């Protein structure tokens, strides 16, 4: 069998916008991409009595990863492609008489333009939520990103979204709303549990949706710790009856942190010695699977950012034997989907609804002006992957100096500008080719302001860089996030990075093979526990940096003894403190706060306009 299915993709991804007498014209243009190579799965999925497809932490990536560079191209499938896949798999399940469930475990927003680019900030993610309602999800649960500010999001999940889903389970997440009597009342955001029968084998399912003890959430919402939840009468009542299996969904991890699953499993196991307990987890943005101490509990976590579609199947037949189950982490793309649905031609794979979902997502892309092209990046710039081009260096070394070239600090042109920026302003790589508004929002989402400290000794800036990057350094605090939220988000990033790092350093060099594309090589505690056993496609691991600096400074060409230092508008007291030496204290009066109106989420686009003219072939 051919391991690689090279795709010459002619996708209608880009759109060139041009200003013409104030009218913005968009042209959809075909982009030939010889780099898009998606490897095929090498074995069929294992079916069981019950088969579950799991998504989690999608964070707005419903159009998939559009770039053609590996490993991004592994994740190119759109939500419409997933809809077609789910529909075809359900038909296969029906033919075999098996049950088939679709589950999502939260974090629908904060990641790309289609969720974050909503013109009304308080409704961020509201348009992408509608695509979840078009999918036949059997169970969904809430993520911490639905609980953070603005409070309108949690309210929308409660008042509107949950009512339109089959089962939006929030066993321990509550919202305080106005009651009919003029008093406030605290109610579950969705339903606390559900009991239902599967459609084919008429199995009894008892399902919950449990969230980790999130902090830094909106004032109107609260999470009851799982260990308190399990003592509530409603919970004890719900678990009394013995179902065919328990379906524990939740925004909690399979790994060591953000994991209260044991607290939920214990009271169930105390009552029901051998009822299977199936756990669908999330939050830490990685692939993982484990079996608890008893062999009838299995927990899977299925990645993030639509880089993974999880598969968990199991048989119920032999109640006295260990659970027969199979787990798989699919690369969400059409090659994967067609392989597992045994379809070759598009017309045999795509469903009308699938095509319609993709079309409507692209329409949303246009409606939110995400297709506005700022330029065409000449190369890849990476944040955490090892490469020759760092997106951090690009930001402080070229982009900021370029776009702020004519701006003066306190009106003086005497000194060169030097940039002292927290690395947390960036969250994603930039890939060669079209750089549009969506790429800008994905790479640098936060509207941080830029201030300027006038007349700073370069040695002070360099010393502050060293100090703040050392152990005493304060990590980045994005302007719109409160401390607790930031800590949670940063910890998730650290766990994910650690996973990525482990797979590149622990990978057996013999596993590196020329015919493999770059991608995840997962080691977990399920199956045969071999690296890559759960991954649907065999990949070579990607190399990642072991460490990201908290502060980046530049450009390196600046050597003048005194500079005007450009900083962010928060954490600035900390910066001033670290710049200061006993005989020279920098104070707030040294800062020019009216330096520029440009925010950090506009810098790359403006820079692309100056430095990265769209390539010839991109023009209509």
Interacting partner of 57 out of ligand NAG, Zn ion, none (Cβ under 5 to 8 A depending on kind): Zn ion
261 binds ligand NAG (CB under 6 A): no
Interacting partner of 107 out of ligand NAG, Zn ion, none (Cβ under 5 to 8 A depending on kind): Zn ion
> Is residue 85 a contact point for ligand NAG (CB under 6 A)?
no
Work out the angle at residue 575's Cα, subtended by the Cα atoms of residues 570 and 579, and round it to the nearest 5 degrees. 160
Phi-psi region of 554 (alpha: psi -120 to 50; beta: other; left: phi over 0): left
Is residue 57 near Zn ion by the rule CB under 5 A?
yes
Dihedral angle over CA of 188, 193, 194, 195, nearest 10: -150
- Cα separation of 330 and 534, whole Å? 9
Which of the choices Zn ion, ligand NAG, none does residue 151 contact, using the CB cut-off of 5 to 8 A by kind?
ligand NAG
DSSP classification of residue 590:
G
Region 220-259 residues binding ligand NAG, contact defined as CB under 6 A = 220, 225, 227, 244, 254-256
Retrieve residue 232's tokens. 């509530």
Stretch that binds ligand NAG, among 5-13, 113-121, 318-326, 343-351 (CB under 6 A): 318-326
Closest alpha carbon to 566 in 603, 532, 530 = 603
Question: Strand order of the sheet with strand 184-188?
Answer: 184-188, 173-178, 221-223
Tell the smallest beta-carbon distance from residue 547 to ligand NAG (Å): 9
Q: Is 542 helix (H, G, I), strand (E, B) or coil?
A: coil
Distance (Å, whole) CA 510 – CA 519? 16
Q: Is residue 132 within 8 Å of 212, Cβ to Cβ? A: no
Instruction: Tell whether residue 313 is a contact of ligand NAG (CB under 6 A).
Output: yes
Cβ-based nearer residue to ligand NAG, 13 or 453: 453
Could you tell which of ligand NAG, Zn ion, none binds residue 267, using a CB distance below 5 to 8 A set by kind?
A: none
Which of 6, 42, 94, 483 is close enough to bind ligand NAG by CB under 6 A?
Answer: 94
x/- track of binding to ligand NAG for residues 536-575 (CB under 6 A): -------------x---x----------------------
Residue 341: partners with Cβ closer than 8 Å, 6 or more residues away: 85, 88, 89, 92, 349
Cβ 331 vs Cβ 54: under 8 Å: no
* Position among 202, 345, 413, 616 found at the interface with ligand NAG (CB under 6 A): 202
Per the structure block, which two tokens stand in for 40? 């095929």
**Distance (Å, rounded) from C-alpha 25 to C-alpha 405?**
29
**Contacts (CB under 6 A) with ligand NAG, residues 279-298:** 286, 288, 290
Q: Looking at beta carbons only, is 405 or 557 nearer to ligand NAG?
A: 405
Q: Is 48 in the site for ligand NAG (CB under 6 A)?
A: yes
Six token digits for residue 287: 């692939």
The footprint of ligand NAG (CB under 6 A) covers 46, 48, 86, 90, 94, 100-102, 123, 126, 136, 138, 151-152, 155-156, 159-160, 177, 199, 202-204, 213, 215, 219-220, 225, 227, 244, 254-256, 286, 288, 290, 313-315, 324-326, 386-388, 403, 405-406, 462, 465-466, 469, 495, 499, 525, 549, 553, 594, 596-597, 610
């Amino acid at each position: 069998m051919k391991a690689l299915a090279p795709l010459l993709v002619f996708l209608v991804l880009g759109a060139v916008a041009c200003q013409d007498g104030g009218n913005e014209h968009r042209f959809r243009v075909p982009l030939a991409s010889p780099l898009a190579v998606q490897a095929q799965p090498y074995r069929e999925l294992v079916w069981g009595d019950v088969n579950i497809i799991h998504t989690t932490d999608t964070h707005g990536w419903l159009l998939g990863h559009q770039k053609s560079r590996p490993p991004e191209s592994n994740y190119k499938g759109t939500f419409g492609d997933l809809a077609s896949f789910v529909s075809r798999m359900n038909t296969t399940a029906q033919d075999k008489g098996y049950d088939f469930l679709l589950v999502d475990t939260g974090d629908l927003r904060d990641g790309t333009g289609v969720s974050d680019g909503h013109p009304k900030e308080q409704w961020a993610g509201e348009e992408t939520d509608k695509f979840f309602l078009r999918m036949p999800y059997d169970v969904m649960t809430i993520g911490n990103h639905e609980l953070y500010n603005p409070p309108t999001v949690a309210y929308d999940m409660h008042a509107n979204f949950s009512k339109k889903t089959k089962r939006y389970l929030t066993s321990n997440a509550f919202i305080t709303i106005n009651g009919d009597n003029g008093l406030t009342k605290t109610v579950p955001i969705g339903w606390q549990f559900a009991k239902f029968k599967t459609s084919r084998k008429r199995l009894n399912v008892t399902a919950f949706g449990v969230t980790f003890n999130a902090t830094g959430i909106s004032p109107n919402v609260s999470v009851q710790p799982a260990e308190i939840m399990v003592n509530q009468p409603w919970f004890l009542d719900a678990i009394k009856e013995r179902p065919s299996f328990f379906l524990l969904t939740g925004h909690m991890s399979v790994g060591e942190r953000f994991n209260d699953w044991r607290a939920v499993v214990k009271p169930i196991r105390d009552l029901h010695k051998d009822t299977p307990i199936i756990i669908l987890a999330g939050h830490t943005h990685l692939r993982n699977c484990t079996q608890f101490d008893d062999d009838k509990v299995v927990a899977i976590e299925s990645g993030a950012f639509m880089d993974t579609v999880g598969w968990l199947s199991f048989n119920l037949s032999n109640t006295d034997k260990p659970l027969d189950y199979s787990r798989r982490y699919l690369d969400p793309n059409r090659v994967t989907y067609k392989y597992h649905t045994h379809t070759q031609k598009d017309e045999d794979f795509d469903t009308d609804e699938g095509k319609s979902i993709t079309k409507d997502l692209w329409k949303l892309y246009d409606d939110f002006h995400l297709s506005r092209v700022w330029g065409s990046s000449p190369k890849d710039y990476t944040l955490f992957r090892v490469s020759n081009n760092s997106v951090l260096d690009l930001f402080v070394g070229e982009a900021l100096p370029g776009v702020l070239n004519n701006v003066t600090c306190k009106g003086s042109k005497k000194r060169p500008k030097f940039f002292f920026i927290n690395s947390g302003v960036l969250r994603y790589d930039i890939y060669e080719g079209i750089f549009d508004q969506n790429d800008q929002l994905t790479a640098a989402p936060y509207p941080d302001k830029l201030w300027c400290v006038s007349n700073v000794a370069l040695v002070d800036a360099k010393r502050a860089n060293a100090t703040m990057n050392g152990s005493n350094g304060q990590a980045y605090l994005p302007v719109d996030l409160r401390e607790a939220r930031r800590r949670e988000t940063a910890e998730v990033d650290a766990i994910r990075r650690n996973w990525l790092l482990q797979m590149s350093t622990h990978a057996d060099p013999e596993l590196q093979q020329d015919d493999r594309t770059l991608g995840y090589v997962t080691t977990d505690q399920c199956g045969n526990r071999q690296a890559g056993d759960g991954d649907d496609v065999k990949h070579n691991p990607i190399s990642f940096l072991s460490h990201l600096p908290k502060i980046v400074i530049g450009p390196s060409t600046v050597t003048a003894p005194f500079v005007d230092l450009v900083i962010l508008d928060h954490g600035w007291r900390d910066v001033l403190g670290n710049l200061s030496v006993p005989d020279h204290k920098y104070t707030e009066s040294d800062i020019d706060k009216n330096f520029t109106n440009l925010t950090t989420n506009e810098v790359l686009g403006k820079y692309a306009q100056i430095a990265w003219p769209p390539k010839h072939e991109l023009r209509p």
